[in-house]
Structure 1
Amino acid sequence: MIEEKEIEYQDEKNIIILCTNFDYQNGIRQVSAAIINYDQRKFQITEFQDSEHFSNFESLLVQTNPQDQQTKFVLYINYPDLQTEKEKIQDIIGQCDIQSIQEREKKYFLEKNYTEDINKLLKKSLQQHIQESTLTSALQCLNCAVLDQQLSKDQSNFKQFTLEKFVLNKFMKLDLAAINALLIFPKQQDQYRKSLMGGAEQSFQTLVDLLDKCKTQIGSRLLRRWIRQPLQDEEEINKRLDIVEYLIQKNDLRNYLQTDFLRKIADLDKLYVKFYKVASNKKHNCNLSDCIKVYSLVENMNLLYQYLENQENTQISENQLLNPLFELQNQFNKLQSMIKQSIDLEKAKSQNEYMVNPMFSPALTEISKKMKTIQSEINSLKQEYARELGVEIKIVDSNTHTYLFEGKKKETDDAFRRKNHQKYKIISMKKTTILYTTEDLQSLVAEYNCISDEYTQEQKQVVDKILAVVSSYYPAMENASSYISQLDVLSTFAQLVVNSPTKYTKPDIQVQNNRINLVQCRHPCLEVVDNNCVPNDCYMDKEKSRFHIITGPNMGGKSTYIRQVALCVLLAHVGCYIPAEKAEMPVIDAIITRVGASDMQIRGISTFMSEMLEASCMLKTASEKSLIIIDELGRGTATNEGFGLAWAISEYIVEKIQGFCLFATHFHEMTKMGKEMKGVVNYYVDCVAVNNKLTMQYRVKEGFA
C-alpha cells in the first residue's frame, strides 16, 4: 500500500480518484462512491447494492481504472467491518494494478455539512442537481476526497467542476475474470496463450494489441476506455457502427485520416490541461510552442472540413462528422489569426524557435530594430576583417560567446602570421576550422546581449498576454480532443476491416432480438497468427437453444470457440465490426466467465471451494440478458461430485436465469440435459481418427462426441 497525504495537481499525469465507502442498510450491503477526474474537472457519484462477492464494486473498478501510463489512479476506501468481506475486497483490488490505495476511517464519511465545500467547486450548485443531491452517502464520499485533496482551499478550482451520476449499468458488465479469460488486455495471459498455441513459441496478441493501431495518444486512451465500458444503448452502438461503415466505404477519406490528418495531432488531453492551468492561474509550463500546436490543430481541422465537404456525404456523415466539426471551427473563431499575428510562425517552422512576432508589439519592434542594427555592424566588421586578412570569414552562433568568426584553418592561420596576430583571439581550433573573436566583436556582442535580455523581458510580458488569450479557448480544445479521439478509434476500426484478409461484418444489434446468430465467426486474435483458423457458426435462440453444451477431446477447440463468441459479442458492443460472415444479437448486459480451476492455498481455499465461490458469484451476477461462458466446471473435485455440481449449476442457469450460456465440458453425461430440458442443445468439436492418429477438425457440430 502506498500512502500519500496529498497528490500534487501539478503532476504531469492526469489524476483519477475513486473514493468508496461500504455500509449496511437494513442488512443489505450498500456501496457509495465518488470519482474525481482532475483533467476533465468532473465529479461523478453513485450508490448501489452489492452481493457478498462484491461483483458490482469489481465492475466499478474495471470501468473507472484506465490502467495507462498517463494516468494516476488513486483509491480511497473505507472497508466493511467484517474481516472476511474486507479480504474479498482486497483480493479484487489486488488484481487491478492500482497505484495508490489509501484507507480512510469511517468518521471521514460521516460529515453532515458537506455542501459548502462542494458548492464552491461546482459550476452549478447542488440544489440544481436534483437527482445527484439525493445521493447523500456518495456526496459524503466526494466530500472526503475534496477535503483530503484540499480542492476547496484553492480558489482557482472554484466553479470549475461538473457533477453527474455515474450509472453502473450504463455499460456492459465486464469483471476481472472475463478480462483475463478473454485476453482483452496484456496481462496474465501466459497460461492460456501456451494452451492456445499448443506450446509453440509464437507471438500472440491480446484484443487491445489487435485493435490499438490508433495514430494519436488520445485515440489509444479512448479505445481502452471503450473496451472497459462497452455500450448498452442500441442507438449509440449503431451510431459508432454507422461511422465505421461510412469510413470503410470512403477509402480516400480513411487514408487521409490515417496517413495525414491524425499523424499531425498532438496529445490534446495534455494540451488543454496546460491551458486550463493558465486560465485558472495555476502553476504551469505552457509556452509559445503549445500555442503553435493549437494553431496546427485549427489548421488541420480546417483542412479536414474541406476534405469532408468534398465527399458525397450521407445524413450519418453530416450529423456525426461534418456538423460537429463545423461547430468546433466556430469555437476556435479568430484564434488562428491571432496566433498568426502574434507569433513568428516562419521561425517556428524553419528553426524550431518560438518567438513573438516583433510587429505584434511596438516595444518589441523598437528593441528588434536595435538588435538588427548591431547584427548589421557585426556583419560589417566581418567584411572588414575578411579584406584585411584576405580570407573568407563566417559568423557562427555560440552558446558561450553568442557570435564568433570562423575561417578555414590553414588559410586563417597563415593570415594571422602575416598580420597582427595579437588582434585576433583564438577560441578553438578544430580539424579544418578556427573559431576566433576580437575586442571589437566582443564589444558588439556585449551590447547585443544586453539588448537581447531587454527583448526577453519584454517578450515574456507579451507571451503571458498571448497565453492568456489562447487559454480562454481551452474548452474548445477539450471538445476537439473528444471529437478527434473518437474519429481516430472509429477510423482504426475501419482500417482493421479493410486490412483483414478475411471478412469482418457489421453486427445487427437490436434490443428486442432474442437470438445470437454468428455465421462463420472466428477468433479475432487467433486468426492473426494462424492463417488456418477454422470458422464456426453459433446460433442461440432464447426459447429453443439458449444453453449450449459443448463436448469433445482436449485441444479440439472448445475453449477457443466459446471465447471467440464472447469476443465477437464484446466487439459489437464496443462499436466494431466482428470477424464473421453475418452477425445479429440483442444488447447483452454482461459477459460472465468461469474458466479453469485453481486454488488459493495462502487463503486456505481449495480448488473445489474456489469453484464454488466463483460459481456462486456468477449465478448472482448473471441475468436473462447476460452471456455466460463456462469452461470445465467441476474438474476441481471427484468426478461424481464434479458432475453433480456442473449439472445443478447448468439446471439453475437454464430454468432460473435463462440467459445465453456456452458450457464446454468433459462430462459427457451432461449431454442428457439436451433431451430433458427445453432450451438446451448439444454440440461437439469434431475430430477424425485414421491409422491410430487423431486429427482435430476444429469444427463445431450439433450433437455430442
Structure 2
Amino acid sequence: MSSLQPIHALSLDSVQQQAFIKYFNSLPEKPLTTVRIFDRNDYYSVHGVDAHTAAREVFSSISNIKKMGIEPNKLDYLVLSKGNFEILIKKLLLVRRYRVEIYVAEGSVKNSDWSLKYKGSPGCLSQLEEVLGEGLGASEENSPCLMAVNIKTDAVSKGRLLGVACIVAGDYQMSVVEFTDDDLLTELETITVQMAPSECLVPQTENDDYKALKQVMARAGVTITKLKKGEFSTEGLHQDLTRLLKFKENQQQDANAFPETRKENAMSSLAAAIKYNSLLNDSTNFGRFRISTIQADCFLHLDAAALSALNVFPELGDSSHTPSRSLYGLLDRCRTQQGKRLLAQWLRQPLRDIYLINERLEIVELLVNSSQLRLQLHEDHLRRIPDLQALARRLTRKKANLHDCYRIYQAIKRLPSLLQCLAEANNATVHSSLSEPISELNDDLDKFQQMIETTMDMDAVDRGDYLVKPSFDDLLQNLSKQLEQLQSSAERELNKAAKDLGMDAGKIIKLEYNPQAGYHFRVTLKEEQALRGNKKYTIIDAVKGGVRFKTSKLEDITEEYTQTKSSYEKEQDKVVTEIVGIAAGYSECLFCLSHILSRLDVLVAFSVATSSAPYPYCKPVFTESLNELVLKDVRHPCLEVQEGISYIPNDVTFKRDK
C-alpha cells in the first residue's frame, strides 16, 4: 500500500504559490476530459478540478487534496509520486479514455516558466513512451488504434459518403474505407466494433450526421476529438504518404501506386490522423507503413449492443480478473502479449469464410485430441516467448538495448525445438499455416542469432549483466585488461591488509565493490576492535552486516577503476548503437514471427479452454451449401462456469431469408 500513499506538500513559499496560481489560471480553457499534470522533477502535481479527478482515480478519495495560495484565490492541488503518476496515466488513458497534458519547467520548478512538453490521448500514446518508458507497454493496448471519420452529404440525394481511416502506429498499419451509410450510421458502427479504436477524430461541426456519429462512438466507448476542418485537408498528403509507406523492391516510389489513395474522402480522414499522430516527426516511421482497405464484409457484422449483450469483453476498467465475466476472460489462456491482442481482434472480427473457419477448427481439434502436444506448447514453448512485436518496434525506433536483443535471441533460439514439437502433429494444415512460415523466418533470423553470439558476453549474462564481449573491439579489450589489472591491484591490497591485521583474506576480511562506496574491505562487528586507532584505515560505516573500511591506496584504485569503467561503458554504447542499428534490419521478420506465434498462441488457448470446460464443447460442422444454421442445446459458456446457477439449453435454427 505504501506506493499508493501521497507524498509531501509542495515546497513553495507564498510568493511562488501566487505566481504559479496566476500562471495556472492563465492557461487556455480545456474540457474536463483533459487532465493537466506538472512535472516537478522528483514528483508531480495536479491542480484544480484535475486534482479531484486524480485523487478519485489513484486514492479513491479526495481527502489527500491540499490547498495553496491565499483567499480568495486558493487552488486545490494533489502531489503524486512517480508510481502514482504512472497509475494515474494508465487509468486516464486506457480506462477513462481521457487526454493528458504534461507540463515541464523550463528553468527552476519554483518559477512559473512551464511549457507543454508531452500530450497523450487514447489513440496516440507515442509521446508518453518517452515519459513512462515501457510503463504502457505491459498493457494490451500498447498499439492503440486511432480512427478519423469525415462525412460528406450529397444535397440532392441526401446520401452520406463516409471516409474512414485507421492508424495503428505500433503495427505500422494504415487502413481506409469509403462507403455510404444510413441515418443511424449502422455500417460505421460495424467497422468501429471490428477495428476497436480508442479515439475518433472528427471535424468541428454540429449537424445531424455528427450527432449520430457521437452516439455510435459513445456506445462503443470511443473518445471523440474534434479538429478544425483544415486538419482534414489532403494538401501535401501525397508527399507525406510517399515518405511513410513501404514499397516493394521494384515498385515505383509513389503513393499513387496504391489504389487506396483514390478514395478521396477516406484520404482526408487519413491526412487528419497522420497529423494528429505526428508520424512525420519521427524519421523511424519512414518507409515502414502498409496501407490496406478495411474489408468489413469478410467478418460477421456486430454492433456495440451485440458485444455487450453477449458479454464478449469485460467492461473497461474491470480489474476483477474473473474469467466468467466475459467470453474474452474465459478463452484467454494465451501465454504471450501478442496472443492476447490477437484473441481480442478475433472476437471482434468473427470469420465468414468457411475454409478459414474450418482451418482454425481443424487445428484446435488436433490440439484437443493430443494432450501431450497441447501441454508442450502451452506450458513450455509459448510461455517463454516475449512480446516480439513490442521488441521489434523498439528496434525500429532505435530505442532497444542489449537486454532487448538478448530476449529476441532467446526466442529465436527456441524456434527449432518449437518446430520439432509442431512436426510431431504430422498434419498438413499445421505444416502449411504454422510450421512452414516459422521455419522460413527461422532461416532469415539465423544471422541475427549469430551476431548476438559473436558480440554478447554470455558469461556476463549469467551474472545478470548485458555487456559486449571485450574481444569484439580493440579499445574495449584494452580497457577490459585495465579493469582486470585494477581488480588484481585491489586483491593485492586485500592481502596486505589481511597480513597487517592478522586475518584470513577472503574469509574474515573480504574485498567488496559497489558503485557508491567503490572498493572497500569488510569485517564482522566483533573484528572491529583490530581497526581502532589504526590510522592506515578509514572506516566507511558500521552496520549489522559488519564494518566497511578502506585505505588511501584502495581509494586511488577505486578512482581509477571508476574512470576506466566509465570509458568502457561509453565505448560499449557506440558498439551497442551499431548492434541495434544492424538488428533493426530484422524488425520486419520479427513482426511476421510475432504474428504467426500469436496465431499459434490463440489456437492453443482455444484448445486449453475446450479441454478444461466443465461441460464438453463440440466442433461445429460447416458445409459449403450452408443455407441454414442449426444450433442444438446452446448455452453461454460464461454461464456454465458460474456456481449455483441452473439454466435450460436452447435450440436455435436460422434459415436463409427467414
TM-score (norm 2): 0.74
Supply the AA of the counterpart residue of 2:341. Answer: R
Aligned equivalent of 1:298, options 404, 412, 417: 412
Deviation at 1:344, TM superposition (A): 1.4
Supply the AA of the counterpart residue of 1:120. Answer: R
SS where residue 325 of structure 2 aligns?
coil
**How far apart, CA to CA, are the structure 2 residues paired with 1:91 and 1:488?**
36
Change in CA separation of 1:424 and 1:475 when aligned onto 2, cut-off 3 Å:
same
Supply the AA of the counterpart residue of 1:362. Answer: D
Mapping of 1:85-104 within 5 angstroms?
A: 85-99=209-223, 101-104=224-227
Aligned equivalent of 2:449, options 336, 353, 358: 336
**Structure 1 alignment gaps of length 5 or more:** 67-72, 191-201, 279-283, 543-623, 625-657, 660-705
SS where residue 421 of structure 1 aligns?
coil
Change in CA separation of 1:541 and 1:451 when aligned onto 2, cut-off 3 Å:
closer
Aligned equivalent of 1:9, options 121, 126, 134: 126
Supply the AA of the counterpart residue of 1:160. Answer: R
Aligned equivalent of 2:202, options 71, 77, 83: 77
Residues 180 and 189 of structure 1 are in contact (CA less than 8 Å); yes or no, is this contact kept in structure 2? no
**How far apart, CA to CA, are the structure 1 residues paired with 2:313 and 2:582?**
41
Supply the AA of the counterpart residue of 1:508. Answer: V
Mapping of 1:121-140 within 5 angstroms?
A: 121-124=244-247, 125-130=254-259, 132-140=260-268
- Residue 149 of structure 2 corresponds to 20
**Structure 2 alignment gaps of length 5 or more:** 1-32, 35-98, 102-118, 130-141, 248-253
Deviation at 1:57, TM superposition (A): 1.2
Change in CA separation of 1:511 and 1:535 when aligned onto 2, cut-off 3 Å:
farther
Q: Is residue 219 of structure 1 aligned with residue 339 of structure 2?
A: yes
Residues 305 and 326 of structure 1 are in contact (CA less than 8 Å); yes or no, is this contact kept in structure 2? yes
Deviation at 1:463, TM superposition (A): 0.9
**How far apart, CA to CA, are the structure 2 residues paired with 1:24 and 1:510?**
42
More off after superposition, 21-30 vs 142-151: 142-151
Q: Is residue 362 of structure 1 aligned with residue 474 of structure 2?
A: yes
**How far apart, CA to CA, are the structure 1 residues paired with 2:143 and 2:324?**
31
Change in CA separation of 1:527 and 1:156 when aligned onto 2, cut-off 3 Å:
closer
SS where residue 313 of structure 2 aligns?
coil
Supply the AA of the counterpart residue of 2:463. Answer: Q
Residues 151 and 157 of structure 1 are in contact (CA less than 8 Å); yes or no, is this contact kept in structure 2? yes
Residues 202 and 225 of structure 2 are in contact (CA less than 8 Å); yes or no, is this contact kept in structure 1? yes
**How far apart, CA to CA, are the structure 2 residues paired with 1:153 and 1:264?**
35
Aligned equivalent of 1:414, options 524, 529, 532: 529
Supply the AA of the counterpart residue of 2:272. Answer: C
Mapping of 1:466-505 within 5 angstroms?
A: 466-505=579-618
- Residue 176 of structure 1 corresponds to 304
- 1:578-634 deviations in Å (ceiling 9; x for gaps): xxxxxxxxxxxxxxxxxxxxxxxxxxxxxxxxxxxxxxxxxxxxxx5xxxxxxxxxx
- Residue 77 of structure 2 corresponds to none
- Residue 48 of structure 1 corresponds to 179
Change in CA separation of 1:94 and 1:534 when aligned onto 2, cut-off 3 Å:
closer
**How far apart, CA to CA, are the structure 2 residues paired with 1:35 and 1:368?**
51
Deviation at 1:416, TM superposition (A): 2.1
- 1:526-574 deviations in Å (ceiling 9; x for gaps): 11014774563525262xxxxxxxxxxxxxxxxxxxxxxxxxxxxxxxx
**How far apart, CA to CA, are the structure 2 residues paired with 1:299 and 1:136?**
47
Change in CA separation of 1:249 and 1:158 when aligned onto 2, cut-off 3 Å:
same
- Residue 567 of structure 2 corresponds to 454
Query: Pairwise CA RMSD of aligned residues?
Result: 2.5
TM-score (norm 1): 0.69
Aligned equivalent of 1:120, options 211, 233, 243: 243
- 1:459-487 deviations in Å (ceiling 9; x for gaps): 11111111111111111111111011111
Residues 522 and 549 of structure 2 are in contact (CA less than 8 Å); yes or no, is this contact kept in structure 1? yes
Deviation at 1:112, TM superposition (A): 5.9
Supply the AA of the counterpart residue of 2:207. Answer: L
Aligned equivalent of 1:442, options 544, 555, 559: 555
Q: Is residue 374 of structure 1 aligned with residue 486 of structure 2?
A: yes
- 1:166-185 deviations in Å (ceiling 9; x for gaps): 12222111111111111111
Supply the AA of the counterpart residue of 1:389. Answer: L
Q: How many residues align structurally?
A: 514
- Residue 384 of structure 1 corresponds to 496
Rg larger for: 1
Aligned equivalent of 2:372, options 226, 237, 252: 252
Change in CA separation of 1:461 and 1:107 when aligned onto 2, cut-off 3 Å:
closer
SS where residue 246 of structure 1 aligns?
helix
**How far apart, CA to CA, are the structure 2 residues paired with 1:322 and 1:82?**
53
Mapping of 1:514-525 within 5 angstroms?
A: 514-525=627-638
**How far apart, CA to CA, are the structure 2 residues paired with 1:120 and 1:9?**
19
More off after superposition, 439-448 vs 3-12: 3-12
SS where residue 160 of structure 2 aligns?
strand
Residues 323 and 329 of structure 2 are in contact (CA less than 8 Å); yes or no, is this contact kept in structure 1? no
**How far apart, CA to CA, are the structure 2 residues paired with 1:80 and 1:23?**
12
**How far apart, CA to CA, are the structure 1 residues paired with 2:311 and 2:541?**
61
Q: Is residue 402 of structure 1 aligned with residue 518 of structure 2?
A: yes
- Residue 188 of structure 2 corresponds to 57
More off after superposition, 299-308 vs 492-501: 299-308
Mapping of 1:498-647 within 5 angstroms?
A: 498-530=611-643, 533-534=646-647, 536-540=649-653, 542=655
Q: Is residue 464 of structure 1 aligned with residue 577 of structure 2?
A: yes
Deviation at 1:217, TM superposition (A): 1.4
SS where residue 544 of structure 2 aligns?
coil
Deviation at 1:520, TM superposition (A): 3.0
Change in CA separation of 1:452 and 1:78 when aligned onto 2, cut-off 3 Å:
same
Residues 516 and 538 of structure 1 are in contact (CA less than 8 Å); yes or no, is this contact kept in structure 2? no
Aligned-residue sequence identity (percent) comes to 29
